[in-house]
Structure 1
């Protein structure tokens, strides 16, 4: 009679998709502690794999960070812009994207924080930087179109206007995350109206 094999004490449960587990863990720990502040053994422990397993899927931390960055940047683009009704006027589109940004920052806080931390960091490779450009180029083009149509103010470059709006939003979320304020829906709606007024002059 064969004796059933018992699992070893403290043995890790078997993980079917180790690559995905590593990426999920990386997102969580990088969002919390930054890329440079997280050693690979800590990441491995979070993922439930051995440190050597990470290197079977990603040859270095930089490779892992860039893969994670590209996947999460695409995820963000999809959440914010997929299915956006392009027949809406400029203000309606702006308000809709603003609400999507709020939902994104609250429902996916690790992704939001990770991407905010990684922008323009030196360890992003050329493919990640090109993806970043592809993300922002259509937005800048849209801002320029609205400027040409007289919808947006034209005394500031489109890139500057976009940076100002995103900066306002990012700082609101940062202050809430750090416990400096609690944002009610009325606050967010008023902030949206203020940013729209800033765009239109």
Structure 2
């Protein structure tokens, strides 16, 4: 059989799959009419996401992140869950001259501990929770002015709009991930989990 990828040419770099251990340190849910979240003891997940949550549902409306569609186009909801890491939020807070940024201010649902460079997990990474839930990563969560405005308001910044504009730059590639529910169930706060990082292909052709 013809070898499409001669070793000498290496048109595609392939990085092996790996597994990591982690923990869902804190869980959060948003009311149906506001993206800011509050801490809870558990998350009950269905195929639509968190029942009653601001981002729940099988579909959503497109926005600024999808310039290839007219704004408001109905599309599949791959943003059911927002996942963040405390160490990354600390970096963003420092860049913004703040003492802290709380996950709930930016609508996070899961604060994960134990995954280095959480925001860099590739699309397709799978989170297997000890209780049986499986979540699949869609992509990095691009920071937006809405979250920046929430941070500015919660920290009492004198110029709220300046804070709103500062966040997208300070949080680039540190905003965490968006994900969707592959296998429903209930996640408990503090629950152990494993992360399966898939084989990655660096496409250069």
Q: Give the structure-2-normalised TM-score.
A: 0.23
Question: Whose strand fraction is larger, Structure 1's or Structure 2's?
Answer: 2
TM-score (norm. length: structure 1)? 0.24
For the pair shown, the structure with the greater C-alpha radius of gyration is 1
Give the number of the structure with larger relative contact order, counting CA–CA contacts within 8 Å between residues 6 or more apart. Answer: 2
